Amino acid sequence: MAKLRPATRRCTRTGCTSPAVLTLTYIYSDSTVVLGPLATYAEPHSYDLCSEHGAKLTAPRGWELIRLSSEEIEPGPSDDDLLAIAEAVRSVISNAAEPHQPTIGRRGHLRALPSD
């Protein structure tokens, strides 16, 4: 039986068949373009680029272009991410009903289940 290889993501530029090595994301509220290492997962509002197209990339007039190298990115969630998650969990727990009521507190995709 043949071994299945994961599909290589390609550059999203029309006509380019080179493998993607960078991910481009727009932050519209800040008029910022961020170009960094290839994201773990392809997302609908980001664009994967090869090294050639990434090197030639320019931002629209009036926008800032931020280029992140793989050394600048720390693996895992940042301290701010962890604090935001902890605060969301605290707010769900503090809004929970009486302990004898078996309800589920919910905030976005986080859930706090009451202990027995």
Contact 31, 64 (CB under 8 A): yes
Q: What distance in Å separates the CA atoms of residue 112 and residue 78, rounded to the nearest whole number? A: 22
Average pLDDT value for residue range 52-74: 84
Model pLDDT, residue 53:
94
Q: What CA dihedral angle connects 69, 42, 76 and 64, to 10 degrees?
A: 40
Longest dimension (CA), the chain: 62
User: Looking at per-residue confidence, does 48 or 84 come out higher?
Assistant: 48
In this predicted model, what pLDDT tens digit does every residue of 67-112 receive, in sequence order? 987 655 556 677 777 788 888 887 777 665 555 555 555 556 666 6
Q: What distance in Å separates the CA atoms of residue 48 and residue 17, rounded to the nearest whole number? A: 12
Contact 24, 13 (CB under 8 A): no
Residue 49, Cβ neighbours under 10 Å: how many?
Answer: 24
Model pLDDT, residue 40:
86
Contact 66, 58 (CB under 8 A): no
In this predicted model, what pLDDT tens digit does every residue of 11-37 receive, in sequence order? 999 999 999 999 999 999 999 999 999
Q: What distance in Å separates the CA atoms of residue 69 and residue 55, rounded to the nearest whole number? A: 12
pTM of the model as a whole = 0.54
Question: Could you tell me how many residues make up the chain?
Answer: 116
